[in-house]
């Protein structure tokens, strides 16, 4: 186990290197020149050269990459090029709202979809099952953008059930006032696909031989469902949840934009828009690392719930 973790961590190094390379190529090639943003309305060649020197853009590509390597090694990405604030403090401010928003969406959606999926799988083939599947499929066919635009317009503005937008400093205030509508919309968007996926996990498990054994033992159907099937079906479910955890940080761009929630998704767009390379680098590297860590954690959790799994 320990050796396994060590090896997996070592394997992250080439991946991180690849991510860095990809990022570096993409953004040095196409990322735009931030000096033109900093220079403002009017500029001259000297100003521009000064700015480029200050940003380190006048160094050779190789030297710039070496700096990048050093930044990744120390996880210190310096200051933002657009507003000259430490990248770490910018991201620190952004993480909270994203995690809160996406976390609640994920939590509500997961709890609802797992419980509904197990119920629907239990009555699989019935009218209820088919209706739920049909509703889910139809619900999934509508673009998230439409849900958000229409939801904000009607639920918040026309009906006045929720504030139109906003974000406060107090967690409780956010939870009670600002979160409900975006979370509701987020759940509407993610519930249907989750429900369908989890249902298929449950249904697939119910076809296994051990279910027959459990029946032959005289267990009742609910017990079979809740004990035997659930535990097995949770394996893919938990894995998919673990894999989606890094997206907590990426946030929900559309929701953040429409509800003025100061999350990571907006920061990414803003950083790209302003060619704020340090911020882009930091976000990407952090997310890459987190993705890998969560992948590893997913495998370890997998091992915990499925004793068959051997970590090699």
Partner 1 sequence: MANEKGSRSLWALGWKRLRKDHIGFVSLWMVAAFVLLALAGALGLVASGWRNEVAKPYAPPTLLKSLGPKHVQLTAENIDAANKASEQANGQPSTGTSLTADEDPLAGDLAEASKNEGQYQEAATQKAETLPMGADLRGRDVLQKVLKGTSTSMLVGLMGSLAAIVLGTIMGGFGGYFGQKIDDLLMWFYSVFTSVPDMLLLLAFSAVLRRGISTVILVMALTSWTGTFRLMRAEFLKHKSREYVKAADAIGASHLRRMFVHILPNVSYLLLVQFSILTVALIKYEVILSFLGFGVSVTQISWGSMLAEAPAELIQGYWWQMACVTLFMSILVTAFSMLTDSLRDALDPKVK
Partner 2 sequence: MSEPLVSIQNLRVAFRMEDGEPFEAIKGISFDIPKNRTVALVGESGSGKSVTSMAILRLLPSNAEFGAESKILFEGKDLLQEDPHALRKVRGGNIAMIFQEPMTSLNPVFTVGDQIMETLMLHMGMGRRAARQKAISLLTECGLPEPERRVDRYPHELSGGQQQRVMIAMAIACEPKLLIADEPTTALDVTIQKQILKLVADLQKARGMSVLFITHDLDVVGEFAHEAVVMREGEIREHSEIRKIFESPQDNYTKALIKCRPHLGRRPQRLAVIDDFMQGTPYKEPPHRPRGYSHGDEIILDVQGLHKTFFSREGLFGKRAFDAVKDVSFKLAKGKTLGIVGESGSGKTTVGLTLMRLHEATAGKAFFNGKDILSMTPKEFKAYKRRIQIVFQNPYASLNPRFTVQDILTEPMMLHGIGSGAQERRRLAADLADRVGLSSNALSKYPHEFSGGQRQRIAIARCLTMKPDILICDESVSALDVSVQAQVLNLLQDLQDEFRLSYLFISHDLSVVKHISDQVMVMHEGVLVEQADSDVIYANPQHDYTRELLASIPRGWPRDSFNAEGALAEA
Partner 3 sequence: MRKGQFALAALTAILISGNGFAADMNKVLHVAFNAPETGFDPAKISDQYSSSIVENIFDPLITYDYLARPVKLIPNTTEAMPTISKDGKVYTFHLKHGIYFADDPAFGGKKRELVAEDYAYSIKRLLDPTINSPYSFLVNGRFVGGDELVAKAGKNTLDYNAPLEGIKTLDKYTLQLTLKETNFNMTYILSMPVFGAVAREVIEANAANTMAHPVGTGPYLLKEWKPGTKMVLEANPNYRKDVFNFAPSKDAIDAGIIKAMKGKTLPCIGRVEVSIIEEEQPTWLAFLEKQLDISGIPQPALQEALVIDPKDPTKATLNPKYAKMGIQHQRYKLQEVTYTYFNMDDSVVGGDSKEKLALRRAIAMAFPRSETIAAIRRGQAVPVNYMIPEGVGGHNPNFKGAAEYDPAKANALLDKFGYKKGADGWRVQPNGKPLSIEYATGSAAIDKQWNEYWQKAFDSLKIHVTWKVGKWNELDKEARQSKLQMWGLAWGADYPDGDNFMMLLYGKNAGDVNYANFKNAEYDKLFESSLKLPDGPERNKLYDQMNKIVVAQQPWIFGDTRVRNTLAQPYVKGFKIHPIVNTTWRYIDLQK
| Cβ neighbours, 10 Å, residue 6 | 10
Asked if residues 189 and 101 have their Cβ atoms less than 8 Å apart, the reply is: no
- The answer to whether residue 155 forms part of the interface with partner 3 (CB under 8 A) is no
Among 60, 74, 84, 207, the residue binding partner 3 under the rule CB under 8 A is 84
> Least CB distance from residue 288 to partner 2, whole Å?
24
> Least CB distance from residue 170 to partner 1, whole Å?
29
Please list the residues that pair with 79 across neighbouring strands.
86
Alpha-carbon span 237 to 241, nearest angstrom: 6
List residues near partner 1 by CB under 8 A.
14-16, 18-19, 21-23, 26-27, 29-32, 133, 137-138, 140-146, 149-150, 153, 250, 253-254, 265, 268-269, 272, 280, 283-284, 287-288, 291-292
- Binding partner selected for residue 116 from partner 1, partner 3, partner 2, none, CB under the kind-specific 5 to 8 Å limit: none
Please list the residues that pair with 86 across neighbouring strands.
79
Using CA of residue 262, residue 268, residue 271, residue 274, what is the dihedral sign? negative
Asked if residues 101 and 263 have their Cβ atoms less than 8 Å apart, the reply is: yes
Nearer to partner 1, 214 or 280 (CB): 280
Structure tokens at 26: 């993409």
Structure tokens at 78: 């310096």
> Least CB distance from residue 2 to partner 2, whole Å?
9
Alpha-carbon span 249 to 281, nearest angstrom: 15
Alpha-carbon span 225 to 122, nearest angstrom: 7
- Binding partner selected for residue 215 from partner 1, partner 2, partner 3, none, CB under the kind-specific 5 to 8 Å limit: partner 2
Among 165, 289, 293, 300, the residue binding partner 3 under the rule CB under 8 A is 165
Asked if residues 172 and 158 have their Cβ atoms less than 8 Å apart, the reply is: no
Length of the chain: 312
**DSSP E strand stretches across the chain:** none
> Least CB distance from residue 139 to partner 3, whole Å?
22
Site for partner 2 in 5-44 (CB under 8 A): 6-7
- The answer to whether residue 311 forms part of the interface with partner 2 (CB under 8 A) is no
- The answer to whether residue 281 forms part of the interface with partner 3 (CB under 8 A) is no
* CA separation, residue 117 to residues 103, 108, 109, 234, 291 (Å): 20, 14, 11, 12, 27
- The answer to whether residue 176 forms part of the interface with partner 3 (CB under 8 A) is no
- The answer to whether residue 76 forms part of the interface with partner 3 (CB under 8 A) is no
The residue range among 58-66, 76-84, 104-112, 284-292 that interacts with partner 3, by the rule CB under 8 A, is 76-84
The residue range among 11-19, 41-49, 160-168, 218-226 that interacts with partner 2, by the rule CB under 8 A, is 218-226
Phi/psi-derived region of residue 5, left when phi > 0, alpha when psi is between -120 and 50, beta in every other case? alpha
Alpha-carbon span 71 to 281, nearest angstrom: 9
CA-wise closest residue to 120 among 130, 110, 134, 135:
130
Asked if residues 281 and 70 have their Cβ atoms less than 8 Å apart, the reply is: no
Nearer to partner 2, 12 or 37 (CB): 12
The residue range among 106-114, 135-143, 231-239, 260-268 that interacts with partner 3, by the rule CB under 8 A, is 260-268
- The answer to whether residue 86 forms part of the interface with partner 3 (CB under 8 A) is yes
Binding residues for partner 2, rule: CB under 8 A, are 3, 6-7, 125, 208-210, 212-221, 228, 231-232, 235, 305-308, 312
Binding residues for partner 3, rule: CB under 8 A, are 32-34, 36-44, 46-47, 50-51, 53-54, 79-80, 82-86, 90, 93-94, 149, 152-153, 156-157, 160, 163-167, 257-260, 262, 266-267, 270, 272-275
């Amino acid at each position: 186990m320990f050796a396994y973790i060590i090896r997996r961590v070592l394997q992250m190094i080439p991946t991180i290197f690849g991510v860095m390379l990809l990022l570096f190529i993409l953004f040095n090639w196409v990322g735009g020149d931030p000096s033109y943003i900093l220079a403002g309305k009017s500029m001259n060649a000297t100003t521009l050269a000064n700015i480029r020197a200050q940003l380190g853009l006048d160094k050779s590509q190789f030297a710039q990459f070496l700096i990048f390597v050093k930044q990744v090694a120390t996880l210190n990405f310096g200051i933002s090029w657009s507003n000259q604030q430490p990248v770490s403090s910018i991201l620190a401010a952004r993480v909270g709202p994203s995690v809160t928003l996406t976390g609640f969406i994920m939590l509500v959606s997961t709890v609802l979809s797992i419980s509904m999926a197990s119920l629907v799988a239990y009555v699989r083939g019935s009218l209820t099952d088919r209706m739920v599947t049909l509703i889910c499929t139809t619900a999934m066919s509508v673009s998230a953008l439409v849900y958000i635009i229409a939801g904000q317009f009607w639920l918040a503005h026309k009906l006045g059930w929720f504030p139109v937008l906003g974000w406060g400093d107090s967690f409780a205030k956010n939870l009670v006032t600002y979160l409900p509508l975006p979370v509701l919309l987020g759940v509407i968007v993610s519930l249907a696909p989750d429900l369908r996926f989890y249902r298929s996990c449950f249904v697939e498990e119910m076809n296994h031989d051990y279910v027959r054994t459990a029946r032959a033992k005289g267990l009742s159907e609910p017990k079979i469902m809740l004990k035997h099937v659930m535990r097995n079906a949770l394996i893919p479910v938990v894995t998919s949840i673990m894999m989606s955890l890094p997206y907590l940080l990426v946030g929900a761009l559309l929701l953040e934009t429409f509800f003025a929630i100061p999350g990571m998704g907006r920061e990414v767009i803003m950083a790209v828009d302003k060619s704020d390379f340090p911020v882009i680098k930091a976000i990407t590297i952090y997310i890459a690392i987190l993705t890998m860590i969560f992948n590893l954690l997913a495998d370890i959790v997998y091992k915990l719930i499925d004793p068959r799994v051997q970590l090699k």
